[in-house]
């Protein structure tokens, strides 16, 4: 699965995982399995010297409470402007330009509109397997109290959909998924993020 890694730079990639709360461990495990170094990020200072950042699933309202402290939101805003960042579920909500149900603050970096909890409550959580734009056949997608991407801007590329709505999108150096690739054994989505970082360098 890991052929592209031969094109990497002279040192292994260091990927930050925002670890305020949520599925940060599962992402770190997925990254480690792909041969890169995962670094947990809990303070603005820890954003230094990383090649990319994953904002995991969890509760976006909880993330925002921490980001409101110590200038974290400003630091993260500048970071995602220039550095590859991948948001899953709550992370996608944080990256989105607009958030609905309810409206809330975000980094407004990725030109999408996201509706929170749009597929219902936990009882409506589901695992789907469907073809996507990724090579290698159908992709398993784990949706947990998932948000819905209701609008994508002109420069946003849709890589996977559910019922006609985008669930995996890319815009330049930013990637977002409303499902949880860290909860599947398939490494293709994490690999896609690493390729995005390497191809940029």
Interface residue list for another protein (CB under 8 A): 19-26, 42, 57-59, 61-62, 65-66, 69, 89-90, 101-102, 116-117, 120-123, 125-127, 142, 144-145, 180, 183
Among 27, 171, 173, 182, the one annotated catalytic: 182
Distance of closest approach, residue 109 Cβ to another protein, in angstroms: 21
Among 27, 171, 173, 180, the one annotated catalytic: 180
Distance of closest approach, residue 135 Cβ to another protein, in angstroms: 25
Which of residues 42 and 200 has its CB atom nearest to another protein in the complex? 42
Q: Kindly report each contact of residues 40-44 with a partner whose C-beta sits within 8 Å and lies 24 or more positions away, as own/partner.
A: 40/16, 41/16, 41/17, 43/70, 43/72, 44/70, 44/71, 44/72, 44/75, 44/76
Give the containing element (helix H, strand E) for 29: helix 24-33
180 has catalytic annotation: yes
Distance of closest approach, residue 180 Cβ to another protein, in angstroms: 6
Q: Minimal CA–CA distance to 167: which of 179, 180, 154?
A: 179
Which of residues 50 and 67 has its CB atom nearest to another protein in the complex? 67
Among 27, 89, 115, 173, the one annotated catalytic: 89
Q: Which residues of 38-63 are buried (b: 16+ CB within 10 A; e: fewer)?
A: bbebeebeebeebbbbbbbbbebeeb
**How far is residue 97's CA from residue 100's CA, in Å, rounded to a whole number?**
10
SS3 for 91? Answer: helix
Which of residues 24 and 79 has its CB atom nearest to another protein in the complex? 24
89 has catalytic annotation: yes
Work out the burial of residue 151: count CB atoms within 10 Å of its CB; fewer than 13 is exposed, 13-18 middle, 19 or more buried: middle
Which of residues 12 and 138 has its CB atom nearest to another protein in the complex? 138
Distance of closest approach, residue 28 Cβ to another protein, in angstroms: 12
- Which residues are catalytic, by number? 89, 180, 182
């Amino acid at each position: 699965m890991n052929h592209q890694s031969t094109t990497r730079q002279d040192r292994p990639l260091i990927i930050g995982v925002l670890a305020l709360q949520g599925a940060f461990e599962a992402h770190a495990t997925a990254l480690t399995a792909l041969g890169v170094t995962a670094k947990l990020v809990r303070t603005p200072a820890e954003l230094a010297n990383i090649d990319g950042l994953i904002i995991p699933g969890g509760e976006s309202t909880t993330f925002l409470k921490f980001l409101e402290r110590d200038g974290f939101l400003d630091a993260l805003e500048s970071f995602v402007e220039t550095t590859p960042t991948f948001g899953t579920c709550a992370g996608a909500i944080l990256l989105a330009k607009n958030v609905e149900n309810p409206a809330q603050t975000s980094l407004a970096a990725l030109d999408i509109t996201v509706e929170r909890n749009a597929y219902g409550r936990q009882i409506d959580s589901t695992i789907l397997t469907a073809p996507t734009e990724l090579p290698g056949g159908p992709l398993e997608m784990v949706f947990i109290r998932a948000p819905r991407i209701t609008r994508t801007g002109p420069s946003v590329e849709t890589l996977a959909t559910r019922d006609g709505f985008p669930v995996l999108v890319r815009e330049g150096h930013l990637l977002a998924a409303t499902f949880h690739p860290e909860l599947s054994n398939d490494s293709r989505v994490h690999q896609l993020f690493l390729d995005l970082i390497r191809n940029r360098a």
